[in-house]
Every structure is written in C-alpha cells, then in structure tokens.
A and B are shown apart, each in its own frame.
Chain A
C-alpha cells in the first residue's frame, strides 16, 4: 500500500544531491538505503523539466520506504510505502 503525502520536507543531501536525511512533521528520518532514482515526464511543452524521484529506506523509530520528489530547489515527501 502507498499513501500519497505531498508535503514539503527539509532534507540534507550527499555529494550526488541524493537525500541522506530529511525532516518530516518535525521528525528526523535518516536514509539507510537508496532503493532507486528516476525521472518522470511532466509538461515539457510548457518547458517544465522532468521531475526527479528517489525511493529510500529510512529510519525514524522504525524502518519505512519513502519516495521523495525534488521540485525546484526544494524536496517533497511524495509517498510513504507500507
């Protein structure tokens, strides 16, 4: 199951600009494993660049799988996967 979230998160990224930690609802999540990265096409005909997604396993009190999406200079938590 996946829950759509769509909330901005504060992130800390590594040298490849992949998040290694993020803060969501005032809680810190440390990225344990980057599962995959990908891009998805959006309205390129309106000159919008493709969106960059990263799926990670992250730990707070327990492990979980999260999808983060970069929009402009900021990051959003796109989905939480159970």
Chain B
C-alpha cells in the first residue's frame, strides 16, 4: 500500500480542524489514496459518518483519535479491529468522565487498561517522546519509549512530522535518530488539519475562537503545511526516511476495523426466572385486555398476536419491556407519563399502558409504527411531567447502570449570528459593528445571510452588509458555516446499552452535567442502538398542578380520563377563539382554525392539530375539508375503494395512516409494503425512483379493477401529501391532552391559569398575555404579597395570587428566606420582615414598588420605614447585614415606591413583574376615536378598514404555498389579542418596523376566513413609544408617540 495519512483532523476536532469530512475524502480520492485515517482530538464524533462516507468512496477508513495524555501530551491511537474500537471508546470515556469540568486526559493506567487492538503513534510535537527528545531529556525519553512499547508492543511507532519551518529545523531528524537507537519503527505523518493549503487561515481563525483570543495573538504553529499532501509531496519530505513512508502502508494494513452498522442492539431487560421476554410481554398485554375492552374478541386477539409476533421477530420484546417498566415505575409514583408519536399506533403499547391512545377506537395501523420491512429502527417517545423528569432519568440510570445509560448528543454548529460574533471577536471587529450585523438576523445560515440581507425587507436598508471593508470578515463568517462548535444534550434522547454502553459509544460530560454520547442521533441510529426519547412536557405538569389545586380548593378529585370528550361549554369557548393557555390549540393559526372549523367534538381536535401545519395549508387541504365539514360541499371519492380509508376525513387525505390504507385498498399492497411506499415518497427521490413507484402503484391498482387514469390521479394526491402528512396516532395523543387543558380552562380557570403561569416558560404566550386572558376568563389577579404569595402562582378565593418568583431580581435565597420565615408565622410588620429575612434592600424596594408590603403598612410609610429598618438590621446583626453595609437606600426609588397611584404601580408592574395587574398601559392613553380595541374587532365587518394599537407578543414567518414570505404579528392591547398579517408589499414598505419589539400602530382591513376567524391584513405599521405625558392634572396620562413610519 502506498503512502497513507494516519494523522488527520477534521472539523470534528472542534475548532482545530478546518475541513469537513467530505472535503478531506474528496481530496484523498483525487490524490488516489486508498486509505485515510481520522484522528480528531479526544472524540470520535465524526467517526461513524467518516466510516460510511469513506467506504462509499472506496477508501479504507481508519478510525482513531489524538488523545490527550497526562503531562499535557498527545498520543495518536488507531483502531486495528473491533477490540481496538471498543478500547478507544472506553479510553475516551474514562478520560472524559474522570475529568469533569476539565479537559479530558488519559492516565498511563488508562492507556494500559484499554490497549487491546490499538496502534499507537508517538504523536505530534506535543507527544511525550518528541517533547523529551527535543528538550534533550534522552533518559526520560527512553523510559517513555519503554512504557509505550510495554503497552503497545510492536504496535508503537515514533511519529515523524516534517513541517520545514524556521522553528523546526531538525526536530524530526533527531527524533528519527533517537528512534533508530531505540530500535523503534518510525512512521511519517503530516498532522493534517485541513484539506488544502489555502485553509490554513480558517484553522488559525478557529484556533483563536477556541482559545478565546484575538487571531493576531496566535504565535505558535503558524505553518501552512498541515494540509493533505500528496504521496509525492510526502515522499519528497521523507526522501531520507523511506521506512517511515513504508510504515504508513504497513500500519494501514493492520487496521481492519469493520463496524457492524445497522445491526439492532437492544437494551437487556431482566426477566423472572423461567420466563422469556416474549412470554412476559405477551402476558402483560393480555392481562390488560379485559380492563381496556371488557372482553377478548377474535379481532383483538388477532391484532395482539400479529403485533407480538412482529415485535418478537424484530427482537424488540426487551425494548418494549424496558419502556413498560419505566412508565410503570413513573405511574406508580404519580408521575404523569405517556407515549407520543407513532408508537401510539400499537395496541400492545396501549395495553401496556405506555400510551393513552386506543388504536382500535381510532382505527390506527400498527404498520405505521413498525413492521418487518422497515429499515429504520422505531423508537418509543415518552412525554413526562417536566417537574419530575429527572426522577425518571435517575431511575433509568440506577436500573440499567450509570455506565450503560447516556443522553444522545447533538452537534451545535455555526449559523450566521454565532459566526458573526465569534469571528468578529477573533478579528477584533468593533462590538457595535458586530451588534449591528447580528441585529435582525434570525436562523440564517452563515453562508447565506448576506444574500438574505439583500432581499429581506427588514435588512435591506442596512448598509452594514455592503461595506467593502467588512467584506473579508463576512466571507470568513461564511467559511465556518455549519462548523461544529460543541456537543450538547439532544432534547430528551436517551440511550440504554446492552451491558456497557462505552464499549460502543464514547461518552463525555455535557456542560450541564449530563453524560452524553459523542455521537449524534443519526450516528447512534447507524450503530443500531435503539434510543428512546424521555421528553419533558410542561403541559403534563400543568395538568397535575391544576388537579392538585382543584382537590385543595374544591375538594373534588377529577379523573381526566373520564371527562367528556365533547363538553359543550369547552368547545364553545374554543370556537370563540378563547384558547390561549391550552395545549396545541392556542397559536394564532389554531385559534383561527377553530373559528373556521367550529369544532364540537373530539375528532375535530384531531383534525385541527393535523390540518394546521405548513404542508396541508400549503396544499389547500383546509379549503377542501372545511366546506365538506360544514355540509356546503358533498363528500366525493375518486374511487369507491377509497371510502374505507378516507371516510373519517370526508374524502380528504389528512393522516399518514391513510396513505397506508389507500395503497392497501387500491393498489393491493400489504400494510408493510404500503408503509415502505409512504416512506419512500417522503424522502428525496429521483424522477426515475418516482416513476418506478408510480408504476408499481398503478399496476397494483389496475390489477385491483381500478382504471389507470384514476390510479394515476390518486398517486399524484399521495405524492403531494407524502411530504406533509401527519401521524394520526400522534395527533390523537396530543388531542387528548389538548381537550383536557381545554376542559380545565373552561371549568377551573383560576387553577388552570395559576398552573400555566407557575410553569413558565411554556406554550406560546408570555405571562402578561396569560394574565390578561385569565382576567378575561373572569379570574381576578392579585398582586404579590409577602404574606400570601408563594414560589408559584396560587389560587385564593377564586383569584390568582402572583408568585414572588415573578419579581425581577428575586433570588432563590431571598425567596427561600421569605417562605421559611413565614412558616414560623406571618409577617406582622415591615420591621418583622426585615429582621426575619435575608432579602436585599434593592429587592425590598422592588417588593415595595409592586405593592407586596401593602398588607403590612401604608405605602407612604415605606420610605422612612425601610431606611430606619435597614439601619436596625445592621445594629442587631440579624438578617443579611452585609447586604446593607455597602448599600445606601436610594430615596428617589423608594419615593416612587411610596407614591401610591395606579400609574406608578402599573409602570412598576410592567418593569418588575412583566405583567399588568393594576391596569394596562393603554388605560392611560387617550386613544384616537378611530382606534378599535381588540375586544371589539369581532364587531367589524369583513373588509372594513381598522386601526389598532398594541404591544407585540411575537412575530411568525411560517412557510407559504408559493414560497413568498408572510409575516404574522400577534399583538395585545389589554382587552384582547389581534392577529395581523403582513404581506410582501407591506413588508417592503415597513421593513424597518418588522421584528421590532414594543408598541405598534397598525392600519389594515378586517379579513374573515370563517364564521369566527378574524385577522387584520395590514397596509401600514407604525412604531410607537410609550412616554409619560407632562400632566399636572389628577389623572396622569401617557402618550403613544410615533417613532417613525413607513411612508
């Protein structure tokens, strides 16, 4: 074998490698190299994709890593076989996990412990042997060589890197001499950090970012030679050392790792003696049939047997038992927990109580979840009460072993904002330029943001992206687009190994203290590891909290499984657009859909959740479905054979499960084949592949007495649908939770909103909008009070008391001291509060300003009281004296606090609580007569021109049918919420106003898309600022001043 690069860093060396895998492999292929190693720093994150890509190109992949070893040295390790791979995984895991909060480091003991199947090269200039030889410490170098030879035997090589440079004149010469004296074989490498020489600047830039220093402070290793050199270039560099060149081929021929990708690897579940996994699973499923269905009918038995047989044949029995055990454990402890996604298509999953969705009642197909023809491994996703998710995670780790459980990692990569910030910092670009360049850029790729800046109305007027002196800066930002920055925890993804996970997956700490895999979810899937998602769903916490409060306040225990699915009052509320706070139904699009669909039954919620998605809306499914739903158009089918599949959705394809049914009923496919057909259509496919699928579908249909023309039309519908279809099982699972929140909001609004507010952040709206909605639902909002407020929102006589946690600057310590002091008795005076708590003076002032002491003393007394009492605390040494020693109260602020008027109070609430309790700012603005309040919008006729004023809740830019961007602005004015649509022409006109926080005046026309679905089509947006008026009168006022306009 000719020369092989055995020391190569990719971008997965995280800020030390300047080339993606594809670039390295393409270059290696162009150079005619038959093998290539990947040796990123301390990680195998790129290894699996490298293995696959290299194999596909016919290049032999050699997996390895450059490992940090004790003494701040490097060592290059390469896997010879699966034993070597396992050794490296375990070595990296131990090097990382034993150094929590520090850089990973392998000790000599670790090297000795995990040595099997590895080839070791002495490393770059930071290798132990090169460093000692360079320093002339020959005796120590000899001892080091003895150690490495003792550990790796004939698989230890002295690594020679020839980067001719001013600094490095003869290092490799002396190292080679030393190797000869010690009879250690040498090997030539180039310590590659980029594919082409031109990329040296990117490497230096990344190094500067990684080390958090300006790029001009990089003094060391400033070579441009670390590129993937050709065999000829390497031969020239090592012309005096042919054995070092020959060793590369020799080592490559020793490395013959074959990873078994795609082979499923399941966690093991301990079963009672004498029982099999299948037997136990079967018994558990049948045990629950009577409770669920009353009797075991032949149909149910057949379905259970079919599912169990499939699960067993695919080897999934243990996996199902693992998930069953987790859910059982959680439920026994009162932790709300249930499956989401396609797992709810399974009857066995339902019978095991993993899911709350009855697949028989909802006519769900098991094959959508799993079948023998499916290539991807199915996984079961669990939603868990957010507050108690950690308990479940701890249980899993304790049950299956901490070295056998890890979170799935996600690779955080550079996008525009991150690139601008990091590159700007490294290049010492002035901060104001960085800020200006970042403003208005959201979720744009680093390589395309300048193109977008030229076309997006809100960025068009900015000149910063056109400044020629910043050209090279922006180009460098584009170069690092998509480069990995760091690993973090993938939301909820969990791995359970079959014994010891680190045999297969190297593990490390996340910054948050979780143990994570070094592979992301795609590579985990390639390895065949079955992952599960243990996701925290705050809505489940809201359900639990609401039920607990209802029990406490009303003495009623509610079983959410038995509330009516079509409660008239709850559905009336939904039809009126009053869904803010509910699960899945609160977004503007869903509220609008409720006004068009006019739901009155559970099935409508399933439809609504499935319909309000970019795909169906882009395909006009709503326009076909809704007239049929309201009886304005008749339900028709292209062919009578479609009725069975599409009757439930009035002839419209809405669910993925329906694709399976159509392909089965019309084209005679089995459900498993039909799912394969659906999956194939979902992915990117070539015209030839599409034609092949069309051919097989039409042939099947014609054989089934369907005309070719009809079959072709149906195929087109399926093809168009496949890209956006929604899994019905998932929609049902979420519709159940949505209905539960709707019912609770309708019948117990105080308890429901208190729970929603206590569990922020969650949902679509900020607390100020939720508080306003609660008030509109008839619930009184009480201000925070040191004697009554808790660390969450609570219900007092039907009213909601604001939590002390909502106060800006309230620390956990301060809150804890208030609550623990109150356990010994309520505060009887301000003096009592000061002496018994550890609350700092600024926080006390904030408490005073929002009225939290109002129950203790009049506000006019607060100023003097606080001053005197803070002095008292100093004298007595009680409370947090130190907090007061250096802090003098600020009379101006406390004067404001003591100034008892609604306007000041309202301002304090906005500033310190981000809420409007006493009043809304617009209550103090004398609005023009022409302005329509949001509560009155519904009275306006379609097409009427209106003018509204309010604060922005959020902006949305969902995908559209024709690809043109539409901006939706959701606003509130204290009386209600309005949904404003801004089309392209108005975006052009008002670009600088878009995505601006704060207050807006909007003019536009009322549009009605359904009986109760209303929005405003904007024709102009004006930014406003809220400023106090100079008023001597008794009623202070504000002005809303224009701060610019469109034209």
Q: A interface vs B, CB < 8 Å?
A: 2, 35-45, 47, 50, 53, 55, 67, 78-79, 81
Contact = CB atoms under 8 A, between A and B. Distances in A.
B635 interface: no
Given A38-B164, A81-B169, A45 B223 contact: no
Interface string B180-218: 000000000000000001001100100000000001100
A44 B201 contact: yes
A41 B166 CA distance: 12
B902 to A, nearest CB: 57
B163 A38 contact: yes
Given A41-B224, A45-B201, A47-B472, 4 more contacts: A40-B165, A40-B223, A44-B201, A53-B164
Among B166, B200, B215, B427, max chain A CB count under 10 A is at B166
A82 B835 CA distance: 80
Given A41-B224, A45-B215, A36 B201 contact: no
Contacts of A81: 169
24 contacts: A35-B164, A36-B162, A36-B164, A38-B164, A38-B223, A38-B225, A39-B225, A40-B224, A41-B200, A41-B201, A41-B204, A41-B222, A41-B223, A41-B224, A44-B200, A44-B201, A45-B201, A45-B215, A45-B216, A45-B427, A55-B164, A67-B166, A78-B166, A81-B169
Nearest to A51: B224
A81 B225 CA distance: 22
Contact of B165 (A38, A42, A45): A38
A61 to B, nearest CB: 24
B213 to A, nearest CB: 13
A57 to B, nearest CB: 13
B222 A40 contact: yes
Contacts of B204: 41, 44
A44 to B, nearest CB: 4
A81 B169 CA distance: 9
Interface in B393-411: none
B237 interface: yes
A41 B223 CA distance: 6
A78 B169 CA distance: 14
A55 B169 CA distance: 10
B505 to A, nearest CB: 37
A36 B472 contact: no
Contact of B224 (A36, A39, A67, A79): A39
Contacts of A2: 169
Among A38, A53, A78, A79, max chain B CB count under 10 A is at A38
Contacts of B223: 38-41
Contacts, number: 48
Q: 8 closest A-B pairs (Cβ-Cβ)?
A: A36-B164, A39-B224, A41-B222, A44-B201, A38-B164, A50-B224, A41-B224, A41-B200
Nearest to B237: A36
Interface string B450-485: 000000000000000000000010000000000000
Contact of B166 (A44, A47, A53): A53
Interface string B227-257: 0000000000100000000000000000000
Interface in B407-421: none
Given A36-B164, A38-B164, A43 B216 contact: yes
A35 B224 CA distance: 18
Contacts of B224: 38-41, 50
A50 B609 CA distance: 59
Nearest to B168: A38
A42 B162 CA distance: 20
Nearest to B208: A45
Interface string B148-164: 00000000000000111
Contacts of B472: 45, 47
A27 B200 CA distance: 37
A17 to B, nearest CB: 17
A35 B165 CA distance: 12
Nearest to B203: A41
A7 to B, nearest CB: 16
A36 B169 CA distance: 10
A80 B172 CA distance: 20
B369 to A, nearest CB: 54
A6 to B, nearest CB: 12
Nearest to A69: B166
A52 to B, nearest CB: 10
A81 B224 CA distance: 22
Given A40-B222, A44-B201, A79 B166 contact: yes
A40 B201 contact: no
Nearest to B428: A45
Contacts of B201: 41, 44-45
Nearest to B473: A45
A78 B165 CA distance: 12
A31 to B, nearest CB: 16
A67 B165 CA distance: 10
A39 B197 contact: yes
A37 B215 CA distance: 25
Contacts of B169: 2, 81
A53 B166 CA distance: 9
A35 to B, nearest CB: 8
A47 B163 CA distance: 23
A50 B216 CA distance: 14
Given A45-B215, A47-B472, A40 B197 contact: no
Contacts of B162: 36
A39 B225 CA distance: 7
A42 B472 CA distance: 16
A41 B220 CA distance: 10
B340 to A, nearest CB: 49
A45 B214 CA distance: 11
Contacts of A50: 200, 224
Contacts of B166: 40, 53, 67, 78-79
Nearest to B222: A41
A68 to B, nearest CB: 12
A34 to B, nearest CB: 10
Interface string B865-904: 0000000000000000000000000000000000000000
Nearest to B205: A45
Contacts of A42: 222
A81 B170 CA distance: 11
Contacts of B225: 38-39
A37 B164 contact: yes
Contacts of A35: 164
Contacts of A38: 163-165, 223-225
Nearest to B224: A39
A11 to B, nearest CB: 19
Contacts of A36: 162, 164, 237
Contacts of A67: 166
A39 B625 CA distance: 68
A81 B165 CA distance: 13
Contacts of B237: 36
A45 B472 CA distance: 8
A42 B218 CA distance: 10
Nearest to B215: A45
Nearest to A52: B224
Contacts of A53: 164-166
Contacts of B165: 38, 40, 53
Contacts of B222: 40-42
Nearest to A46: B216
Contacts of A45: 201, 215-216, 427, 472
A79 B169 CA distance: 12
Interface in B509-549: none
A21 to B, nearest CB: 21
Contacts of A43: 216
A32 to B, nearest CB: 16
B216 to A, nearest CB: 7
A53 B204 CA distance: 20
A2 B166 CA distance: 10
A50 B196 CA distance: 14
A58 to B, nearest CB: 16
